[in-house]
Structure 1
Amino acid sequence: MEILGDTNVDFMGLKKYAFVFSGILSLLGIIAVIGMFLGYANIGIDFGGGTAVQVKFDKPVRIDTAREALSKNGIEDAELQEFPMDNKLLVRLKNVIAADEHAADKVISIFRQEFPDNNLVVDTSMEIGPTVGKKLQKNAITAVVLSMIGIIIYIAFRFELRFGIAAAIATFHDVLAVMGIFFILGKEMNLLIVTALLTLAGYSLTDTVVVFDRIREYLRLRRKDPIEVIINNGINHVLSRTIITSLTTALVLVALV
């Protein structure tokens, strides 16, 4: 299926602009990684340690009312997420706040004290110490690094070593770009984001393999053509497929939202 027909975009002619743009995104990603280690990034409790408590009330509780109740009792920087359909409230306390070993019990006690006529049930309660958080952070980085090594080995076996290195760089670039954007926007970095990044790497690799396969075919059939022409033809030939794959993924994400 083709939605664009035959295209003839000079991608290689735009390579200088692409290098600059990609370089900026990669730099932001590197800054994000450094910021995570130095504590400047918005680290979730998965990596930084802390407490998460999800409670279910019999009657609805407004999120601003719950935040005011916590603030009045000494918990001022809690992160709250509301699930109004089920009368549920998720409270996250990062490690700086949750120095008390019984932070979860304190939150529950405050809610019961402030809302005595609204019975609550604890759905989930999780406490992660800073040591465990650091270990999870290390494991997440290890997972990304190992996936990059796996990409190089797979592409090198499927094509050539140079293709494998190029695919790993391209995939790592995509991961860094997203991390950089999240860092600039102040979004929280947690295990869910790591899962999303690995999924992104999978999509990126799949598309890269398709493009490389077409380029390899043209390298074999059109040996006299300049490499720029071969690369342009390879990308243009699968451009519709790339766009369709991206749109399909976007539609799924819209449905989830």
Structure 2
Amino acid sequence: MFQILSIKGTVNFLRHAVPISILSLILVIASLTSLATKGINWGLDFTGGIVVELEFSSTANLQALRAELTSEETEGVVVQHFGSSRDVITRLPIKEGVKSETQVAQIMEAAIKLDPQVIQKRVEMVGPQIGQELAEQGGLAVLVALICILIYVSFRFEWRLALGAVTALAHDVIITLGVFSLLQLDFDLTVLAGILTVVGYSLNDTIVVFDRIRENFLKMRKGSPEEIINISITQTMSRTIITTGTTLVVVVALFLKGGTMIHGFATALLMGIFVGTFSSIYVASFLAIKLGINREHMLPVEIEKEGADQEKLMP
């Protein structure tokens, strides 16, 4: 009865697996090419710079402040709200041959023109050496996360499923990084947090599908691996749609209304949700099929008890 009901309403997701897998491979190659040629547009968190926090007496006009900061010394300045509408944070890249005091003074002059009562709350300087260490530690954090996930999934699932899950994670991270490289979007610490969140989100979706695949391989004695995987994906699709839909509502709201401060974070999540959802089906599951996954691989290994041979020989 279980088998008949499951097969009746099954959607053949894997029918489109080959063209979508080819598209995924093209996107990964394009992302790697962009990362190799254009690189990543590192934000001030990684390259170093000057941070000046200001407090205005009334709501700050960010557009007017940006319009005042058009000199060579303040080129590349980032102006954002920081907390309330009266608090503003400005970030400046370090310029060769220009004193940091001069850059800070120009920011204050522009702010005073807009509001004579403006208060300079703090000034921080992040050197390029610290920024380089942050970039190295951030990359190491992503690498360690992937390695730990590989170890965890290898213990929990058969190695063919584990390899599919880790490949899907690498696929999601590379394509998300490729989008930031291609569009030259600022890559700061909030984007790094978004990348790590994408890893967790994608892994969660893949494990839900793989758990159902493993259950169905053990319950259903008939049916090819493709049929069982299609059944498993169909059974978990309602959960995927609800989870993805509710997550997208929040992420789209952050993307549209969250402000410049978390725009990169929301962009990374938005890309990761789309890529991670289809990679669970067309990368992780399809790769497991190509590696030859079948029911025998899911059966627990039988361990013979001591003395079993002797008991068989006894009359």
What range describes the TM-score normalised by the shorter chain of this pair?
0.7 to 0.9
Question: 1:212-231 maps to which residues of 2 (within 5 A)?
Answer: 212-231=210-229
Aligned length: 248
Query: What letter corresponds to residue 177 of structure 2 in structure 1?
Result: M
Note if contact 1:171-1:201 (Cα within 8 Å) is conserved in structure 2: yes
Q: Deviations over 1:75-129 (max 9, x none)?
A: 23322235796233332212347953436633444336645x5212234433221
Q: What is the alpha-carbon distance in structure 2 between the residues aligned to residue 193 and residue 32 of structure 1? A: 18
Q: Does 1:30 align with 2:28?
A: no
Query: What letter corresponds to residue 104 of structure 2 in structure 1?
Result: D
Question: 1:1-257 maps to which residues of 2 (within 5 A)?
Answer: 7-34=9-36, 40-72=39-71, 74-82=73-81, 86-96=85-95, 100-102=99-101, 105-111=104-110, 114-115=113-114, 118-256=116-254, 257=257
Q: What is the alpha-carbon distance in structure 1 between the residues aligned to residue 123 and residue 249 of structure 2? A: 33
1:71 Cα deviation from its structure 2 partner: 2.1
Q: What is the alpha-carbon distance in structure 2 between the residues aligned to residue 127 and residue 24 of structure 1? A: 41
Provide the secondary structure at the position in 1 that maps to 2:85. Answer: coil
TM-score (norm. length: structure 1): 0.84
Note if contact 1:151-1:164 (Cα within 8 Å) is conserved in structure 2: no
Note if contact 1:112-1:119 (Cα within 8 Å) is conserved in structure 2: no
Provide the secondary structure at the position in 2 that maps to 1:53. Answer: strand
1:227 Cα deviation from its structure 2 partner: 1.5
Note if contact 1:28-1:176 (Cα within 8 Å) is conserved in structure 2: no
Query: What letter corresponds to residue 231 of structure 1 in structure 2?
Result: I
Q: Once superposed, which parts of structure 1, at least 4 consecutive aligned residues long, lie more than 4 Å away?
A: 82-85, 96-99
Note if contact 1:56-1:122 (Cα within 8 Å) is conserved in structure 2: yes
Note if contact 2:60-2:85 (Cα within 8 Å) is conserved in structure 1: no
Q: What is the alpha-carbon distance in structure 2 between the residues aligned to residue 229 and residue 245 of structure 1? A: 24
1:25 Cα deviation from its structure 2 partner: 2.7
Task: Please identify, of 126-135 and 199-208, the stretch whose mean Cα deviation from structure 2 is larger.
Answer: 126-135
What is the aligned-residue identity percentage? 33
TM-score (norm. length: structure 2): 0.70
Query: What letter corresponds to residue 40 of structure 2 in structure 1?
Result: A
Partner residue, 1:3: none
Q: Deviations over 1:168-188 (max 9, x none)?
A: 111121122222223333321
Note if contact 2:50-2:126 (Cα within 8 Å) is conserved in structure 1: yes
**Which consecutive residues of structure 1, in runs of 5 or more, have no partner in the other structure?**
1-5
1:237 Cα deviation from its structure 2 partner: 1.1
**Cα RMSD after superposing both structures:** 2.7
**Which consecutive residues of structure 2, in runs of 5 or more, have no partner in the other structure?**
1-7, 258-315
Query: What letter corresponds to residue 80 of structure 2 in structure 1?
Result: Q
1:253 Cα deviation from its structure 2 partner: 2.3
